[in-house]
Amino acid sequence: MLLDLQKQLNETKMDNWIFDLDGTLVNLRTYEEIYPLVIDTVLALKKIDIHTLDELALASKVYKNSRQRWDTGDLCREFGLLEIYYSILEGFIRENNILTNNALEILNLLKERGARIGIASNSMKRTIETYLEMYSLGSKIDFICSAVETGVSKNKVGFWEHLIRRFDINPMKSTVIGDNPLDDFEVPKSVGFNALLTKQNSLSDVYLRLLL
C-alpha cells in the first residue's frame, strides 16, 4: 500500500490534483464546534422544540449522519436559514484556523509544479467558497465541483463522469486525494483516476511523500 502511494506520488507530472474538502483540506471539528449553536439558533428562530425539529427535518428528507447528528448546512437550507448558517460558519472559521496540517504547503507546492488543482466535495458550493475566501485560497484553486450542484454525490460514478466532462479532465493524469475510502478512493479509481486515501484531518503524510 505504501509503495503504491509512493509510486503514484512520484508521478508529479499529473495534470490535475483533486482534493476533498471536509476532513481533507479542512478539519471536521468545525462542524462539531458549531453544531450546538446552529441547532439552538434554528429552534429559537423557528420557535419549535427539538422533537418538532426532528419531525420537520425528516419530512424534508434531511437525514442524520452515523453519529446521529443532522448535517447543519442541509438542515438550515431546508428551513430557509442559510444566511444564519453561513454567518455562524464564517464567524467560527475566522476565529479558528481549521485548515488541516500541511494543506497550504501542499497547495503551494503543487501550484509551483504547474499543476491544475480542483476541489470535489459533497458540500454546497457556497461552503467551499466560504473557506477559500476566508483563507485567501481562491487563486490556488482552478475548479470546484459540488455534489449539491451536480445533483449526484461522490460515492456515485456519475459525479466523477460529470467532473471529467465539465472540466475537461483526463482521469489517467489526475489524482484524487481524500479521507473517505469509498467517495475519494474506490469510486474515482473505478473511473480511471489515481487516488490517495489520507488520514482524516491531516495531510502530513501526503506532504512528506510529495517532498521526496
User: Which three cell numbers, joined as nine digits, stand for 47?
Assistant: 420557535
Q: Which stretch binds Mg ion (CB under 5 A): 8-16, 43-51, 54-62, 175-183?
A: 175-183
For residue 180, what is the DSSP state? -
Asked if residue 188 binds Mg ion (CB under 5 A), the reply is no
- CA 5 to chain centroid, in Å, comes to 21
Among 9, 18, 23, 185, binds Mg ion (CB under 5 A): 23
DSSP for 29-91, written as a single string: HHHHHHHHHHHHHHHHHHT--HHHHHHHHHHTT--B-TTS-B-HHHHHHHTT-HHHHHHHHHH
Q: How far is the CB of 184 from Mg ion (least distance, A)?
A: 7
Asked if residue 74 binds Mg ion (CB under 5 A), the reply is no
CA distances from 202 to 25, 157, 165 (A): 8, 26, 30
Measured from the CB atom, is 16 or 180 closer to Mg ion? Answer: 180
Among 14, 22, 144, 194, binds Mg ion (CB under 5 A): 22
Q: How far is the CB of 121 from Mg ion (least distance, A)?
A: 8
CA distances from 99 to 36, 132, 167 (A): 21, 10, 25
Among 18, 19, 20, 141, binds Mg ion (CB under 5 A): 20
Q: Is 198 left (phi over 0), alpha (psi -120 to 50) or beta?
A: beta
Q: Which stretch binds Mg ion (CB under 5 A): 29-37, 129-137, 149-157, 174-182?
A: 174-182
Asked if residue 119 binds Mg ion (CB under 5 A), the reply is no
Among 41, 73, 179, 206, binds Mg ion (CB under 5 A): 179
Q: Which residues bind Mg ion (CB under 5 A)?
A: 20, 22-23, 179-180
